[in-house]
Amino acid sequence: MILLAGPCVIESEESIFKIAKSLERYQNDPRFDFYFKSSFDKANRTSLDSYRGPGIEEGLRILQKVKDDFGYKIVTDVHESYQVPIAAEVVDMIQIPAFLCRQTDLLVAAGKTDKIVNIKKGQFMTPGDMQYSVMKVLKTRGCDELSFEASQKHGVLLCERGSSFGYGNLVVDMRSLVIMRQFAPVIFDATHSVQMPGTGTGKTGGDSSMVPHLARAAAAVGVDGFFFETHFDPICALSDGPNMLKLEQLEALSETLLQINSVKGN
């Protein structure tokens, strides 16, 4: 099972290493294909006053240190095309944010690297239309075939993170997991799927109590991996605290997901 986990944004080198240390069990467990996730910049924060991160140079320095010290594979977001080759010097997986999932230049830049590309489905996108985002990367890599097998071979993933449901809420249509899995392996982002955007406070809200329920449902439908933002104290997190899991919650939940996968044979 592919597992992407870590804090939303790099808050400090000290906090990153504290969280990284707590995730060692997944690196050492052969049942997981583990990637440590954190962002050097959150370029789509609601308010200009919100914390964005340390920036690309300092952020990648810290992620490289995590990689060197723990042996983790690394995944991080990119927001502009120029960031892609710079990030690719450190990371093993490039993540395309949901709001940018149709940005052709960004997808093509990611496709020109030799890294896995994880494309998050926009909250505004139908699952069927994500095939075109996949093809932008595949064609850049010399592949004209759209299929699960082609994407798996060429390192393209799709990530479900909920769809806009009126104002200030998201909903996960479990059919989207089945539809998108026709085009590429699918990662289910259980923590962003419980966000409550547009609360009028300048910050995105969320309900992390719903994370285990959605994750178990996705495992039952059938996915190839999971994305969990996690923190030792989500209440104090500088970004996405309301939807993040505590580190100790992730351990029990991940075991449950493996059991469901075992029953289904996924």
Q: Over the stretch 80-137, which tens digit does the pLDDT of each residue have?
A: 999 999 999 999 999 999 999 999 999 999 999 999 999 999 999 999 999 999 999 9
What is the per-residue pLDDT across 25-74, written as a single tens digit (0 to 9) for each? 999 999 999 999 999 998 887 788 788 999 999 999 999 999 999 999 99
* Residue written as token pair 């962003």: 192
Could you give the number of structural domains in the chain?
Answer: 1
| Cα gap 107→100, rounded to integer Å | 9
* % residues pLDDT > 90 (the chain): 84
> Kindly report the CA angle at 78 between 80 and 8, in degrees rounded to 5?
140
* 198 has a pLDDT exceeding 80: no
The string over 119-148, giving b where at least 16 C-beta atoms fall within 10 Å of a residue's C-beta and e elsewhere, is: bbbbbebebeebbebbbbbbebbebeebee
Taking only Cα atoms into account, the Rg of the chain, rounded to an integer number of angstroms, comes to: 17
SS3 category, 135: helix
The string over 187-212, giving b where at least 16 C-beta atoms fall within 10 Å of a residue's C-beta and e elsewhere, is: bbbbbbbbbebeeeeebbbbebeebb
Burial class of 55 by CB neighbour count within 10 A (0 to 12, 13 to 18, 19+): exposed
| Cα gap 95→211, rounded to integer Å | 21
| Cα gap 139→134, rounded to integer Å | 9
pLDDT band at 264 (very low <50, low <70, confident <90, very high): low
CATH number of domain containing 203 = 3.20.20.70
Q: Up-side HSE of residue 230: CA atoms within 13 Å toward CB?
A: 28
pLDDT band at 230 (very low <50, low <70, confident <90, very high): very high
Contact criterion met (CB below 8 Å) for 180 and 158: yes
Please give the residue range of the domain that contains residue 66: 2-264
- What backbone phi and psi angles, to 5 degrees, belong to 16? -60, -45
Contact criterion met (CB below 8 Å) for 53 and 42: yes
What is the per-residue pLDDT across 147-163, written as a single tens digit (0 to 9) for each? 999 999 999 999 999 99
